Amino acid sequence: MTTVAVWATVPLIGGLGAVLRFLVDRTVSKRSGGAFPYGTLVVNISGALLLGILAGMALSPHMALLAGTAFVGSYTTFSTWMLETHRLSEERQFWPAVANIGVSVALGLAAAACGLWLGMRL
């Protein structure tokens, strides 16, 4: 059963994840330039790694909710990834759009597997 303390903590930790996503995305995007959404790519790959680590650590249900759902869930962004991919295709940048999907999925799966491996060793 989820406690009141957990419910009260979810928005706080989720807010931290969202702020960190914004900062990482902006920092990477400023340094990379161009139309390709490198900021979102870095956020989602690092989030997959972190979620893999958390899964490998076999956290308690409350800690998994707070760390995985609240923090990582608000840190990563599926909707922005899809919107940016759609924007690339609208701008007729088909290869970058396809690369955004393929690279994100391949690196995300690899990062999650690596994180799981690391988390099981902590």
pLDDT in tens, 9-66: 999 999 999 999 999 999 999 999 889 999 999 999 999 999 999 999 999 988 988 8
Q: For residue range 91-103, what is the model confidence (pLDDT) as tens digits?
A: 999 999 999 999 9
The answer to whether 34 is a known ligand-binding residue is: no
DSSP for 36-72 reads S-HHHHHHHHHHHHHHHHHHHTT--HHHHIIIIIIII
Question: Is 76 annotated as a binding-site member?
Answer: yes
Please name the residue that has the structure tokens 């760390």: 67
Q: What are the residue boundaries of the structural domains of the chain, listed by start?
A: 77-121
Long-range interactions of 93-99: CB distance < 8 A, separation 24+? 93/35, 96/35, 96/36, 99/36
**30 within 8 A of 87, measured Cβ to Cβ:** no
